[in-house]
Amino acid sequence: MQDLLAASRCPRCRRVVAPPARICPDHPVAMEPHLIPAVGEVVSFTTLHSPPEGFRSPLHIAIVELDGGARLFCHGEETRGVKIGSRVSVEDVNSIFYFSHMGFADRARLFWRRTGYRGEKVAAIGKSFVKGFWKGRSRGER
Amino acid sequence: MTRFGKRDESLPDLMTEAALAALADAGIERPDALIVAAMNPEEFTGEGNYGSLIGTHLGLSQVPALRVETATSSGMAAVYTAFATLAAGIHRSALVVGGEKMTHLPTPRVSEIIGRSIDPHERSYGSTMPALAGLITRAAMHRRGFALKEISLVAVKNHAHGVRNPYAHFREAVTLEAVMESRMVADPLRLFHCCPISDGAAALVLTAEPAAVRIAGIGQGMESIAVRYRWDLTSFRATQAAAEVAYRMAGFGPERVDVAELHDAFAPFELISLEDTGLVPAGKGGRATVDGETTVGGRLPVNPSGGLKARGHPLAATGIAQVVELVWQLRGLAEGRQVEARVGLAQSIGGLATNNWVTLLEARR
């Protein structure tokens, strides 16, 4: 079982966009809510060495094409080993998408790094555990 | 046009310098209309109402004036607006002037202001113009086989052209090694692959009377402002659409073009644009550059002015400066960098290729 991301689909051309949009970019019609799996492949990526104010340097940005047909902008912890076409999973952390294509241990480490101070970590681990339990099993590798 | 680069004059002064030179060249004192192009003057200079401001500053306070904006292609949008009012028979002559003043601000601030032309969601990820260009460059290298050396040679060539242009921001040659070893900006793009931050203004006069050079075709093409909404990152649909409209209006194709000014804000964009405009077959942009076809003296000189890379890129001045360079080339006035040409093509990119233009100019026999 894998995570789903909120997206929108155009009732006319079936185009899917994420994050959700009110109106299709190609038709002036309202889009419908849609869910797509949070896995896909890297379309391109770059590392910005002097990012804008408020962002860490170096800043890793990727465009990921999700299997459900939408392309997403994502941050990444690193781009070492990433190639165009690499399979990645995408996580929504406080409304920012992160891509990762690493093993379970690496993902756990990133999870640890992304969450804030200890109280937040405990709450996040608790939430993640409950979520896993609720779904029948915890999120594993693809 | 004014010399591009770091200038101490105010934007209205720069625009006035360019405008008065264009009016004198055209032998017109008072045009029927004034079309002003400025991308972000409110943020860069703190002044607004640019149509009226420049009209009054120029001594043309009673001439109908408009300001036009399509991000970094604003200059060409102003040329189009003037062309349309003449074609519609509303005016007989129009003065087009565009410019930007940016170098007095720190680079991060300039980057931030230019970055406002990016989709807000994508900007919230820290995307700047170089970041988006880096994403496009990597995809183009992967899917279209552009080599880093070919991309870097574009910068080397355009710097070499800039040496011979007295209006250029940079008048020094650079070596291939210097380009390929310059500071990394947005992997795989390096500093010398990117155009500079420049001040400057450019102007021209359009008239309904027969002149030495005519606009044979002009076309606009659009693409979603969101890069994530595009299926192809490695060519610009906005350029392809604009080229199709321009060629149809002109009644001829890319085979008639002798010289081109392309929007090389980032060096790989020249290769992409060469192919998008049909000037070289798909997949041959890099080869044409390596073989020297696009150098002054080659089969199809591209950016004899030095392009955005060396002439500089004062945003809204650029589209007009491209047309000015082509007019000089077609009239035989491009001293030191003159090419043999009867038809010229200018291509201008607005934002990250969201609002592009292709213009065809033809010398009258």
Judge if A80 and A118 occupy the same domain: no
ipTM of the complex: 0.93
Judge if A33 and A67 occupy the same domain: yes
Judge if A67 and A93 occupy the same domain: yes
Residue A2 predicted with pLDDT over 70: no
CA distance B229 to chain A (A): 7
HSE-up of residue B70 (Cα within 13 Å, Cβ side): 24
The Cα–Cα gap between B306 and B312 comes to 8
Judge if A66 and A36 occupy the same domain: yes
Cα dihedral B110/B112/B117/B122 (nearest 10):
150
At B362, give phi and psi (nearest 5°): -135, 135
Report the residue of chain B nearest A21, measured CA to CA.
B121
Judge if A93 and A127 occupy the same domain: no
Write the CB contacts of B69 (distance below 8 Å, at least 6 apart in sequence).
B37, B38, B39, B77, B316
Judge if A65 and A112 occupy the same domain: no
CA distance B95 to chain A (A): 36
The per-residue pLDDT for B152 is: 98
How many domains does the structure of chain A reveal?
Answer: 2
Buried b (16+ CB within 10 A) or exposed e, B141-155: bbebebebebbbbbb
pLDDT band at A3 (very low <50, low <70, confident <90, very high): confident
Judge if A93 and A123 occupy the same domain: no
Contacts of A25 in chain B (CB under 8 A): 224, 226, 229
Judge if A15 and A85 occupy the same domain: yes
Judge if A67 and A132 occupy the same domain: no
CATH code where residue A64 lies? 2.40.50.840
Judge if A95 and A112 occupy the same domain: no
CA distance B116 to chain A (A): 12
A25 CB within 8 Å of a chain B CB: yes
Judge if A81 and A94 occupy the same domain: yes
The Cα–Cα gap between B178 and B228 comes to 33
Summarised one tens digit per residue, pLDDT across range B116-174 is: 999 999 999 999 999 999 999 999 999 999 999 999 999 999 999 999 999 999 999 99
Contact B142 A84 (CB under 8 A): yes
Residue B61 predicted with pLDDT over 80: yes
Rounded mean pLDDT, B93-115: 97
Summarised one tens digit per residue, pLDDT across range A13-58 is: 999 999 999 999 999 999 999 999 999 999 999 999 989 999 999 9
Q: Is the bond preceding residue B188 a cis peptide, omega within 30 degrees?
A: yes
Task: Give residue A43's domain range.
Answer: 4-101
Cβ atoms of B266 and B130 closer than 8 Å: yes
A94 CB within 8 Å of a chain B CB: no
Judge if A97 and A112 occupy the same domain: no
